[in-house]
Structure 1
Amino acid sequence: MENATEAVTVVQQDEEREVEGLEQPQNPPPPVRRRFVISLYVGYFLARWGARTWEFSVALYMIYLWPNSLLLAAIYGAIESGSSAIFGPIVGQWIEGMDYVKVLRLWLLCQNLSYIIAGGAVIKLLLDYDLKPRNIPVFATLVALTNVAGAIGVLSTLGGTILIERDWAVIMSEGHPPAVLTRMNSVIRGIDLSSKLLSPVFTGLIISFVSLKASAITFAFWATITAWVEYWLFISVYNGAPAISQSNERRILRSMTNPVEETNAHVSVSIVRGTGNPPRRTAMLKVFDRVSKSSFVGAWRVYIKQEVVLPGVSLALLFFTVLSFGTLMTATLQWEGIPTYIIGIGRGISATVGLLATVVYPLMQSRISTLRNGLWSF
């Protein structure tokens, strides 16, 4: 009886301490150190520069390899977009289940290695221009290798975008005024658009005044060198920002507990004898069951339940009416005989318009609500 009373007293004391801890004002989070924020920005700029350079250059490579047709450019665009749509949810789930350091290493390794492989394949195709009529299988293999490596690079870039924009920027600004996150998002978006603005101009000048081969060699060399610099910058941010490492520990704990909970939830014991085996189902039902449980379908289910699903669909429909300097359009302009540096300048002008939005948005968001800001944007 006395032990029970002591236990109750201890519990009451613990509850009082928790209440007192909740009533006491929490210490404000430490300020975001400028050095690590700059390291984050510089590393992200290096990563986005390589991605934007490849995004612009690949269309020019494809139209050069098959001058009388847009087939290669169209195939690459379809593979790139299809891989993002199909495997994008899987990439998101992998990122959610891994710690930040592992995600960072996989992102930089896959992105830069895939760009090095794609650049090497393009260099071989450009140096051996007569390869297509002389050896079709080797030509097709190198083109396929370029497509696959480019798709892997796009998927790894997607993973890096999720890591930096959706996780690290949010974590580093936690506990601070909303203007801090708004400013960081604007700067990160500005870095992406600046890369989209400047890299095509730089690449177009190399192609127009040096050669297409020189641009491919420069791209492969860039991916080789910057991989180490990017890792050093990002790992310094991880080690210097305690909030990121603490969030990483919580992620590891969740990843260790969730599989156990899911396993316990799905385990069922048959009490009635002879009813343990499920009835046979047709092959069609099995395929449908696998598809319904796939990551792709599950991601769409989660997205449909979000409050932003209708604005997202509206934005997608709006993009149907917008011309963008994508792979196919860039190849078409080159096919029509427009100089490469002119295409790069035009792409840069379009990126400048988007870059201005990163300056205007924080000003508008501080004066009007986010909802009204979005409505005015539409």
Structure 2
Amino acid sequence: MPFRARLTVAFGAIGFGSGALMLALIWLFMTYVPYYDIPIPDGADTSLPADEQSMLFVIASPADVTEFILRVGLLALVALTAIAAWAGWMISGRMLQPLSRINEAARRAGEGDLGYRIRLQGPRDEVSDLAQTFDLTLDRLQRVFEAHTRFTANAAHELRTPLTATKTMLEIADAHPAAISEAELIAGVRSNNDRSIELVQALLTLTALETATAKLGAVDLAQLAGEAIARRSAAGAGFAPVTELLPAPALAEAPLMALLLDNLLQNAHRHNDSRGYIRVRTGEDADGSWVEVENSGGRIDESDLAKLTEPLFRPRRTSAEGHGLGLAIVKSIVDRHGAELRVAQRDAGGLAVTVVLPQRRDQR
């Protein structure tokens, strides 16, 4: 039996049971509670007036009263049961309408359509909370599914280049052993392998950022920037940026902000001129706490500037090595924090990338 029909039967049963109990109490009262006869004086006229001779029911004794009440009560009981069943049918229909939309969303999700949302309107109750939770779950599932789809497509596309290069080198070495030395072959294969590993790791990082939930804590961007600079300087390669690190307290995920700074510094170092410079600044103003990484370098087409944060995008006029995921990872971290990312081209060439974390109520 459908749930709505069961609710209707339940409402009708409640109405019938309540009415039957009331009738039973009335019958018990009329049957067992003592009553007193009202004496009629001798010679009193007990006949009905002429204009009331057509009455259908005449109460002449206490038993007649009980019978009359039971007859009327039974009719009222039938009417009450019918009204209760009708009310149960209507009310249950209204109550179950949101569940039908939730069921539709679940059915579509089971068929692979994760774009349908319930978006239930009305007062907040248990059903609306369930619908909201279901929508949030679908949002999360859709993000995960889309992220994994992008990861598969991006990995397949980008891994083709190093794998093809490795295959070509091996084919040349096999067909013409004298054309390439063993050391050159090993170095080339190792280079392509390292590039593949770096690319896959970056794609996995980007995918994880798109699907995880933010957990904020108190951080200081100046301290995180100093630690990121120390890590990169320890790796060598002559990394010595100009710094101006003023206190910049914020609410953020410290590990993700460290990853953001690592990618900004790597990007600035990789695309810098051999005699250029890198400057790292942090501070706080009316917009919030910010960190800026600026580097010299070549100019970028204006049409390419807005695409720098897209995954796997590399400007046409660049010869630097890279997988095109550094700023995409930065953008993903910025979006998770509800922050602002500003990418501007310097007049002399190079970029100035600024991340602004808005002030939170907890900081005020």
Q: Which has the higher contact order (CA 8 A, sep 6+)?
A: 1
Asked if Structure 1 and Structure 2 have the same fold, meaning a TM-score greater than 0.5 normalized by the shorter chain, the answer is no
Larger Rg belongs to: 2
Give TM-score, length-normalised by structure 2: 0.19
Greater helix percent: which structure?
A: 1
TM-score when normalising by structure 1: 0.18
